[in-house]
Structure 1
């Protein structure tokens, strides 16, 4: 990644490399990024600690401005790991994907089609694999992943119980996942399908 700047003219792919230069359009703020607030290494984290002077790295949507890689050309829209900066030089392209479906709002690639959506989908359909009518408990039901799991569970016809730290957070879950608004529980609301 390159440090941000106002003038993208200073960014060019490294000659002879497969790197690309992108203009970041949308950036995602995801739960795993909490570790960036601590100086200590987080045990079991799949993301590196933030280095002083370096941009935060996360998932985003970007437009290719310059490319040394045969799979990416100028003007392509991509999503994957990029810097929280206006322009980025990306040399590790393993987690960068060309956007094929440009008719979908690009911001969806930071939510339902991004890390939160993929995590919710895999956790619910691939790991949990519930059947219609089964009970599903969602901790952090108001979070990015929890809200989506709640919606998947309701669509499947499951009985859903969601928890959150405050009643206000559960109201968010209700608005996103159709949790019963008349529930008197402060920390847990039941979704009747």
Structure 2
């Protein structure tokens, strides 16, 4: 759900593309990203591999809570173009995703994180990717600003410089169904 920015006074912001308000001008800073579930090979050997996101209800999922929030971060999946959330339960909840990842590597349960951050662990055999057919890409981070706000010359120059830098770097989207 977009977070309202219209009442705040700011020059620029960076936010996930899916969280942008309609009244802002934005451009992507990165390719679309996706999150995937993962666990250690040892966990999979003992508990098995879920075949559908609903199977996560029977697994030990490692929760994440944004600092200052009361609710767990939702695990969102996509099936036939429709997004849905799966409520998870498990032995641990962290407010640091790296700690959740360390717990998954240690065999505690299944973690859910940005693919680019766990790719190395998958490639090196410390983690096994799960449910990738249900892990669709979504808009990555974008720079945004209010359309109708008067900008200083410095802010306008910064926006132009960032646009040039982003355009100069090839943005390769993540695979949607990589063979893991």
Question: TM-score, with normalisation over the residues of structure 2?
Answer: 0.25
Asked which structure has the greater CA Rg, the reply is 1
Larger relative contact order (C-alpha < 8 A, sep ≥ 6)? Answer: 2
- TM-score, length-scaled by structure 1: 0.24
